Structure 1
Amino acid sequence: MNGWRITGAAVLGLGLAGCALGPSGQAPAMPEPARYAASPPPDGGASATGPELVVAHVPAAAWWIRFGVPELDALVTEAWAANPDLAAARQRLEAAREVLRAQTGATTLPSIDLGAQAARQRALGLPLTLPPPFPELPRTSTYDTFVGQAQARYTFDLFGSIRERNRALADRVEQQSAQWRAAREALAANVVSGALTLSALQARLDILASVAAGLRRDEVEAVRRQALGAAPRAAVLDARRQAEAVAAQIPGLQAQALSIRHALAVLLGRTPDQAPEAIAFERLTLPAQIPVLVPAALLAARPDVQAAAAALRAAAHDAGAASADRLPSLTLTAAMGRGGYDWPSALSPAGALWSLAGGLTAPLFHGGALQARHRASLQAHAAAQDDYRSTVLAAFREVADALASLEQGGAAQAAGEAAASAARAAAADAARRAALGAVPPAAARAADRQADLTALDALDVRAQRLLDAARLFHALGAPEAA
């Protein structure tokens, strides 16, 4: 009795020790930056052109609605519902969850199987007489057998090998779930960025079309003046050159706009011929406020960081399973049924069959394979730690870059808008003077053209700030339930 107690205590102690066989799956400590960018934001992060940057602990949900047009929300909603790549990723995630359920059920509960067999066979000869109630076998040695039984099998997880593998698979499913959320947010960001880029490109095309029309009028006037002898042929050629130079830019931009529309259509799950139209650029507004997460909240909001953390936990559980594989395993099997050489004997009390067996297996020599697998799992865990650090640093950098672009672009937008306003005022003044006959119509058209070209520069800056805002929103992550 004492020997059994000692053995049981030893097994229990080794089983408890199995809980600590693997490394910790906790994420390594990361330094929290005092601020994201290398230099402090100008004027505390606010500018005359906005947006206001406010400290937050929760990321903005459905941030694209802050650009002021309902069409963006409709596009993102449609993409989430119809994008085939996102749908395929979702199906793969559900398949992974079912695999986890299958592995957990197969390894934590006993397996029970029912079997039945009926056979007729001829042996070399059986010159023996069986005791009652079995009949004497015929000398021909041809006989029937009938067997039916239930079999049960269960492996005891003494040292946590099964538990560690199940936990590793669960963490990999969680990693895949986080990757799906990252793909979902990336899809939303791509749809918004594509729509913003398309709107800015269409606005540029409209301005260039206006400039090209003005230059065509200058060319027509130069031809008329040449016919009257008031202008040389060089003036006509110069006007034509300018008009053709601007007109040559339009087809390439139109092709680029069509390419963006086609890409948006695919993101939305449509065919290219059903591509969405451009949103009027003047309807888009820069968000008034952007909640900038503190670094600790950023790590919880970024799905790529959460995926890296899940991969780290899975690697730790893999190392624990590799350690447990070097320890003994215990398997219990049991069977119960009936058998005989005919149905009456199989159903009689003498036909009862049963078996109960326990097997203890301890690895003795595997050519160093178990030790090598354990060392490999520890190296994989160390690599997962480095991957986590890299992912966190990349997240900090994305936020810092987006913040820097958005903050520094405020001054450029203010200057561009001031220049565009001055050029438009000059064009209006030139138009009034031309109406009074103080300057020729060509001078008014030149001033108007200069205002359009200045508006192009302001358009580029404003479009970039819209894209920077979308980029910052995406870099800040999303709520878990978004």
Structure 2
Amino acid sequence: MRMAALAALGLVLAGCALGPSGKPPAMPEPVRYVAGPAPDAAPAGSPDLVAAWAPDASWWTAFGAPELDALVAEARAANPDLAAARRRLEAAREALRAQTGATELPSVDLGAQAARQRALGLPLELPPPLPELPRTSIYDTFVGQAQVRYAFDLFGSIRERNRALADRVEQQAAQWRAAREALAANVVSGALTLSALQVRLRILEAVADGLRRDEAESARRQALGAAPRAAVLDARRQAEAVAAQIPGLQARALAIRHALAVLLGRTPDQAPEAIPFERLALPARIPVLVPSALLAARPDVQAAQAALRAAAHDAGAASADLFPSLTLTAAMGRGGYDWSSAWSPGGALWSLAGGLTAPLFHGGALRAQRRASLQGYAAAEDDYRSTVLAAFREVADALSALEQAGAAQAAGDAAAGAARGVAADAARRAALGAVPPSAARAADRQADLAELDALDIRAQRLLDAVRLFHALGAPA
């Protein structure tokens, strides 16, 4: 008995080592995300990039617009796709509880049966003068019993499958967190793009209005014989060329508003208005995760880790299928041809059975399944490596874009400031009669175009900050 117990214990312990470990493969951590030397000094107005070990939970508040915070909160509460993903996650968790309870604990069932039936009698030839027995009989049966069934998980096949399912549920939870953060990033990016687009529309409308005034002035000069007809046509061409850009931009702005409405769970006719661009500010401080902390914060890396663990448990289950399985079944109850006989001492019923099944020949299917699961585990390791490298790349791209955009914004703002100075000088000279009004409008138009370039850089810088926040992951 002692030897048998030790052997059984060895079998159980052996089942714990039938599959791979499921630990993530070692990955090199970069010293810094971006290739090349670090910049000597950040341009003026650049955010302060500080090392951090945990991501910012509500990073969108750093842009300083309460309207933006309200949009993100509404999207997280009302987005139907996110709600559906949450429901599916809860359904997967309940399915895990169902499978765990059905496979790791004994199953107990109660049953009761009452039947009335007619059976054929035995065709016996009896010698006379004994009367002939009836060849059919009608009788009742009453049976009630409890049945217990339990499968002993000697080599861990059941345990490994349940753990694999649990890891896949965790993978689904990480994917839900990734979808939740992607929704916030999409809402913030859409709102920022819409705000910048409204400013662009205002500037272009001002430029088109100035060009139409140039056209009217050229037409008056032509009527006086002071300007050729070609000058009028050229002014009209420029005005219409700028005006032709406005309908497309208006349609794009409406499309962004409609997309935001859907993200918020609204109908397109209830689309939100644009946030005034001047209320949006580049975050003054961005906590940048160190590489080791990034791997713990990114939901896609967490999902890859869960998938790797699930693949390891699948391999363990496939290995355990090569060994015997033991099942115990027991039943106890009462039965009889009437209620009184069922509850009599003679009506007791019971059964006890144990079954041991060992795979002998399955045409190589079990070993092939094990090899397939090991290949699946190797593929999960490769997927994990790819996910980690992609995470490092996304952070590096966002950081480099934010750093380069700082220098571009400094140059763009300087160019816009110089153009505004030229426009102010031209306006003063036009007021003194030194230059015609068209010259002042031309200088003002050049200043507007320089402001458009600076606006594009500022808007892109805000979007780069959103991209960096999103790349850094979210709290679990």
TM-score (norm 2): 0.96
* Alignment-derived partner of residue 360 in structure 1: 356
Q: Gaps (5+ residues) in structure 2?
A: 125-132
Q: 1:222 aligns with which of 205, 211, 218?
A: 218
Cα deviation per residue 1:125-173 (whole Å; 9 max; x = unaligned)?
2589xxxxxxxx9763222111111111011111111111111111011
Q: What are the equivalent positions in structure 2 for 1:45-124 lying under 5 Å apart? A: 46-124=42-120
Equivalent pairs counted in the alignment come to: 468
Deviation, 1:284, is: 1.1
Q: 2:28 aligns with which of 22, 28, 31?
A: 31
Q: Structure 1 runs of 4+ off > 6 angstroms?
A: none
CA pair 47-254 structure 1, distance change in 2 beyond 3 A: same
* Alignment-derived partner of residue 350 in structure 1: 346
Q: Gaps (5+ residues) in structure 1?
A: 129-136
Checking the alignment, whether the CA contact within 8 Å between 2:412 and 2:454 is kept in structure 1 is yes
* Alignment-derived partner of residue 442 in structure 1: 438
* Alignment-derived partner of residue 263 in structure 2: 267
Checking the alignment, whether the CA contact within 8 Å between 2:121 and 2:134 is kept in structure 1 is no
Secondary structure, aligned partner of 2:326? strand
The one-letter code sitting in structure 2 at the alignment partner of 1:23 is P
Deviation, 1:346, is: 1.0
Checking the alignment, whether the CA contact within 8 Å between 1:325 and 1:370 is kept in structure 2 is yes
* Alignment-derived partner of residue 16 in structure 2: 19
Report the Cα distance in structure 2 between the residues aligned to 1:126 and 1:165, rounded to whole angstroms.
Answer: 53
Report the Cα distance in structure 2 between the residues aligned to 1:138 and 1:211, rounded to whole angstroms.
Answer: 113
Secondary structure, aligned partner of 1:339? strand
- Matching of residue 391 in structure 1 with residue 383 in structure 2: no
The 10-residue stretch of structure 1 (320-329 or 34-43) with the greater mean CA deviation from structure 2? 34-43
Secondary structure, aligned partner of 1:183? helix
- Matching of residue 372 in structure 1 with residue 406 in structure 2: no
The one-letter code sitting in structure 1 at the alignment partner of 2:389 is L
Secondary structure, aligned partner of 2:150? strand
* Alignment-derived partner of residue 237 in structure 1: 233
Q: Percent identity?
A: 84
Checking the alignment, whether the CA contact within 8 Å between 2:120 and 2:135 is kept in structure 1 is no
Report the Cα distance in structure 1 between the residues aligned to 2:472 and 2:178, rounded to whole angstroms.
Answer: 12
Cα deviation per residue 1:97-129 (whole Å; 9 max; x = unaligned)?
00011011111111111111111222232589x
Checking the alignment, whether the CA contact within 8 Å between 1:197 and 1:463 is kept in structure 2 is yes
Report the Cα distance in structure 2 between the residues aligned to 1:127 and 1:242, rounded to whole angstroms.
Answer: 114
Report the Cα distance in structure 2 between the residues aligned to 1:113 and 1:127, rounded to whole angstroms.
Answer: 40
Checking the alignment, whether the CA contact within 8 Å between 2:332 and 2:349 is kept in structure 1 is yes
Secondary structure, aligned partner of 2:45? coil
Report the Cα distance in structure 2 between the residues aligned to 1:139 and 1:433, rounded to whole angstroms.
Answer: 129
Secondary structure, aligned partner of 1:146? strand
Cα deviation per residue 1:400-458 (whole Å; 9 max; x = unaligned)?
00011110111110000000001011111111111111111111111100100000111
Deviation, 1:18, is: 0.5
Deviation, 1:198, is: 0.7
* Alignment-derived partner of residue 251 in structure 1: 247
Q: 2:449 aligns with which of 450, 453, 461?
A: 453
Q: 1:288 aligns with which of 281, 284, 288?
A: 284
- Matching of residue 7 in structure 1 with residue 4 in structure 2: yes
Q: 1:278 aligns with which of 258, 274, 280?
A: 274
Secondary structure, aligned partner of 1:9? helix
The one-letter code sitting in structure 2 at the alignment partner of 1:388 is Y
The one-letter code sitting in structure 2 at the alignment partner of 1:258 is L
Deviation, 1:49, is: 2.4
Secondary structure, aligned partner of 2:146? strand
Report the Cα distance in structure 2 between the residues aligned to 1:466 and 1:286, rounded to whole angstroms.
Answer: 6
Deviation, 1:282, is: 1.8
- Matching of residue 168 in structure 1 with residue 192 in structure 2: no
Checking the alignment, whether the CA contact within 8 Å between 2:218 and 2:231 is kept in structure 1 is yes
The 10-residue stretch of structure 1 (93-102 or 362-371) with the greater mean CA deviation from structure 2? 362-371
The one-letter code sitting in structure 2 at the alignment partner of 1:9 is L
- Matching of residue 479 in structure 1 with residue 467 in structure 2: no
Deviation, 1:96, is: 0.3
Secondary structure, aligned partner of 2:16? helix
The one-letter code sitting in structure 2 at the alignment partner of 1:36 is Y
* Alignment-derived partner of residue 205 in structure 1: 201
CA pair 461-435 structure 1, distance change in 2 beyond 3 A: same
The 10-residue stretch of structure 1 (343-352 or 301-310) with the greater mean CA deviation from structure 2? 343-352
Report the Cα distance in structure 1 between the residues aligned to 2:16 and 2:43, rounded to whole angstroms.
Answer: 55
The one-letter code sitting in structure 2 at the alignment partner of 1:474 is H
Checking the alignment, whether the CA contact within 8 Å between 1:126 and 1:141 is kept in structure 2 is no
Report the Cα distance in structure 1 between the residues aligned to 2:3 and 2:67, rounded to whole angstroms.
Answer: 73
* Alignment-derived partner of residue 332 in structure 2: 336
Checking the alignment, whether the CA contact within 8 Å between 1:41 and 1:404 is kept in structure 2 is no
Report the Cα distance in structure 2 between the residues aligned to 1:62 and 1:224, rounded to whole angstroms.
Answer: 59
* Alignment-derived partner of residue 300 in structure 2: 304
* Alignment-derived partner of residue 185 in structure 1: 181
Deviation, 1:65, is: 0.8
The one-letter code sitting in structure 2 at the alignment partner of 1:161 is S
* Alignment-derived partner of residue 425 in structure 1: 421
Report the Cα distance in structure 1 between the residues aligned to 2:252 and 2:446, rounded to whole angstroms.
Answer: 25
CA pair 258-175 structure 1, distance change in 2 beyond 3 A: same
Report the Cα distance in structure 1 between the residues aligned to 2:279 and 2:114, rounded to whole angstroms.
Answer: 81
CA pair 280-226 structure 1, distance change in 2 beyond 3 A: same
* Alignment-derived partner of residue 134 in structure 1: none
The one-letter code sitting in structure 2 at the alignment partner of 1:97 is R
Report the Cα distance in structure 1 between the residues aligned to 2:30 and 2:213, rounded to whole angstroms.
Answer: 58
Cα deviation per residue 1:80-108 (whole Å; 9 max; x = unaligned)?
00100000000000000000110111111
Report the Cα distance in structure 2 between the residues aligned to 1:138 and 1:264, rounded to whole angstroms.
Answer: 85
Report the Cα distance in structure 2 between the residues aligned to 1:188 and 1:88, rounded to whole angstroms.
Answer: 16
Secondary structure, aligned partner of 1:229? coil
Checking the alignment, whether the CA contact within 8 Å between 2:174 and 2:300 is kept in structure 1 is yes
